[in-house]
Amino acid sequence: MNAPRRTKIVCSIGPASQEVDSLVALIEAGMNVARVNMSHGTFAEHSTTIDNVREAARRTGQIIGILGDLCGPKLRITGLPARIHLVKPGDQFMLSEGDPEEDVDAITITPLGVLTEVARGDSIAFADGAVRGLVQERNEHGVSVLVTQGGSLSIRKGVNLPDSHLSIPAMTDKDFHDASFLLEHNVDFLALSFVGSASDLTIAREFMLENAHGPNIPRLVAKIERRDALGRIAEIMDVADAVMVARGDLGVEIPVEEVPIEQKRIIHLANARGKMVITATQMLESMISAPTPTRAEASDVANAILDGTDAIMLSAETAVGSYPVDAVGQMDRIARATEQIVTDQSLTLLTHPVRAIHSTADAIGFAAADLSRNLALKVVIAVTESGHSARTISRYRPNVPVVGATPDEFAARSLTLSYGVIPAVIPRSPSTEVMIQEAIDAAIDLDLCETGDLCALAAGIPFGVRGTTNLVKIQVVGEGFLSIGDRYQTD
């Protein structure tokens, strides 16, 4: 039996990977979740991409999640005077929110209302930090900027105000429109960019509840890429289902030397709260144009896994790169090699749990993971309606695979970001015993166990009631599940 990789791989889909055959190749190389970036492309293009991902999943027989990534209030250059393309230290220019066709002497930006919150002495960065400056003064026309680090500027380049406490909401009119589209297409995860506080997530969740097409609500991912978010990370995690360490803009908002430390802190806090966490941006950046990664990139991927991340993400590498399949393959191999030592290190999570057990589900998850270390188990099988049982077990990092067996296809796809969880869709039955046997059969079909192997079963009795994980049992595969009584059958 070939042990499955436990760390999940998220791939951004774009021109280099959006065709069905390319997506099949990405899945076969190890992709678990496809990211649809709403910053680029049209609804028609995104609709085709989503359809193609689902067709590729059908062809490969794999359960693949789809993550819709909203743009958020990204500050961008909209107008650039002809004389201002290459700036050097000591240069000064005006920055405004005017019409680029009318305000021809200033660099114009969007969205509106940002520059009123900028103060003298605030730092400002352009083009992912390639150009930097300081605000000299503010007037009715905008702000005057003194260049401290020179470089080239162009239309659509990003703007960051790391010292300014901006009150702009995380969802723009475009984001609400895009979110409606993604809900209509039943995506599994919705990522919110430039989150500043828990209220941003509350607004997004309320919108999803009001506009969802049916009962399926995407898992909400908070992208941590603003300085303000770092100081409110606990409250953000309390509302989010998952977080993303979005190191691109975060590395502009804070000094680059602080990014690795914040990455470790965010991942640790997410692990402590049982939240899924994705590490993203420039993980294998050189593979946009090269067939192999640098040694530093390989170390970056490995260290994110050692930090405790659930998932690692590829951006331009798979969206527009020359070697998208190779990038996934390299990431897969690095993850597998790293996981060989993670299993031993994660014993610390069990002997010194990072959060007290507050519920029956926590206790069952802890016990199932603990059993995986003290007995010769082949697999932990969680029979789950919503996926919560499997996610709870995943948090304690058992040293064997976790099968998240559910009759709900949407719930199965929601497990595609959870470390060590292999989702499986099983037939629904009114009998708990039948459901458990179906789950064991699914684990056998996945080649994770065979007759005579020892496994741990976790479930909620009665089945079908969300949040009732209350059973853990050791089972020999093939011996049949001991009846637990007709009183536990569901309608």
pLDDT in single tens digits along all 491 residues of the chain:
668 999 999 999 999 999 999 999 999 999 999 999 999 999 999 999 999 999 999 999 999 999 999 999 999 999 998 778 889 999 999 999 988 877 778 999 988 889 999 999 999 999 999 999 999 999 888 999 999 999 999 998 999 999 988 888 889 999 999 999 999 999 999 999 999 999 999 999 999 999 998 889 999 999 999 999 999 999 999 999 999 999 999 999 999 999 999 999 999 999 999 999 999 999 999 999 999 999 999 999 999 999 999 999 999 999 999 999 999 999 999 999 999 887 655 444 443 445 557 788 888 888 988 898 888 899 999 999 999 999 999 999 998 999 999 999 999 999 999 999 999 999 998 888 889 999 999 999 999 999 999 999 998 766 666 656 778 889 899 886 544 333 333 33
Looking at the structure, do residues 199 and 135 belong to the same domain, yes or no?
no
> Is 81 within a domain?
yes
> Is 248 within a domain?
yes
Report the alpha-carbon angle 135-140-145, nearest 5: 20
> Is 344 within a domain?
no
Query: Which residue out of 54, 76, 336, 473 is catalytically annotated?
Result: 76
Is 333 in the active site?
Answer: no
Looking at the structure, do residues 187 and 267 belong to the same domain, yes or no?
yes
Looking at the structure, do residues 179 and 318 belong to the same domain, yes or no?
yes
Is 76 in the active site?
Answer: yes
65-69 and 189-192 beta bridge pairing: parallel
Looking at the structure, do residues 408 and 429 belong to the same domain, yes or no?
yes
Residues forming beta bridges with residue 406, ordered by sequence position:
425
Give the list of residues 6+ apart from residue 350 with CB closer than 8 angstroms, or none.
366, 369, 370, 373, 396, 397
> Is 286 within a domain?
yes
Using CA atoms, how far apart are residues 255 and 52, in angstroms rounded to an integer? 40
DSSP H helices, 216-258, are 227-230, 233-239, 247-253
On the 0-12 / 13-18 / 19+ scale of CB atoms within 10 A, 212 is middle
In angstroms, what CA-CA distances link 219 with 21, 188, 243, 295? Answer: 28, 6, 10, 34
> Is 2 within a domain?
no
- Which one of 338, 358, 388 terminates a domain? 338
pLDDT at 350: 43
> Is 293 within a domain?
yes
Query: Which residue out of 8, 157, 223, 373 is catalytically annotated?
Result: 223
> Is 1 within a domain?
no
The CATH number given to whatever domain includes residue 208 is 3.20.20.60
Looking at the structure, do residues 462 and 424 belong to the same domain, yes or no?
yes
| pTM across the whole model | 0.93
- Which one of 160, 182, 200 terminates a domain? 160
Using CA atoms, how far apart are residues 400 and 377, in angstroms rounded to an integer? 7
Is 428 in the active site?
Answer: no
Give the list of residues 6+ apart from residue 351 with CB closer than 8 angstroms, or none.
none
Rounded-to-10 torsion of CA 387, 389, 392, 398: -110
In angstroms, what CA-CA distances link 351 with 165, 191, 249, 275, 360? Answer: 41, 33, 36, 20, 18
In angstroms, what CA-CA distances link 89 with 121, 126, 147, 149, 352? Answer: 16, 14, 5, 5, 51
pLDDT at 104: 74
Q: Of 153, 164, 90, 162, which is closest to residue 127 (Cα–Cα)? A: 153
> Is 92 within a domain?
yes
Looking at the structure, do residues 60 and 84 belong to the same domain, yes or no?
no
Looking at the structure, do residues 79 and 26 belong to the same domain, yes or no?
no
Q: Which residue has the tokens 């506009």?
A: 211
Query: Which residue out of 281, 309, 432, 469 is catalytically annotated?
Result: 281
Q: 198-211 and 173-184 are packed helices; what angle lies between their axes, rounded to 10 degrees?
A: 50
Looking at the structure, do residues 294 and 181 belong to the same domain, yes or no?
yes
The CATH number given to whatever domain includes residue 100 is 2.40.33.10
Residues forming beta bridges with residue 471, ordered by sequence position:
459
75-79 and 158-160 beta bridge pairing: antiparallel
Contact 87, 131 (CB under 8 A): yes
Residues forming beta bridges with residue 300, ordered by sequence position:
none
The CATH number given to whatever domain includes residue 364 is 3.40.1380.20
Q: Which residue has the tokens 């996981």?
A: 339
- Which one of 114, 137, 160 terminates a domain? 160
**How many independent structural domains does the chain possess?**
3
Q: Report CA torsion sign: 55, 57, 58, 63.
A: negative
Looking at the structure, do residues 202 and 263 belong to the same domain, yes or no?
yes
Contact 411, 63 (CB under 8 A): no
pLDDT at 344: 59
Looking at the structure, do residues 328 and 361 belong to the same domain, yes or no?
no
CA atoms within 13 A on the CB side of 135: 22
Looking at the structure, do residues 287 and 412 belong to the same domain, yes or no?
no
In angstroms, what CA-CA distances link 194 with 157, 197, 246, 385, 474? Answer: 16, 9, 9, 32, 45
Domain region containing 110 = 75-160
Looking at the structure, do residues 187 and 261 belong to the same domain, yes or no?
yes
Is 281 in the active site?
Answer: yes
- Rounded to the nearest angstrom, the gap between the alpha carbon of residue 17 and the centroid of all alpha carbons in its chain is 19
Query: Which residue out of 8, 35, 395, 397 is catalytically annotated?
Result: 35
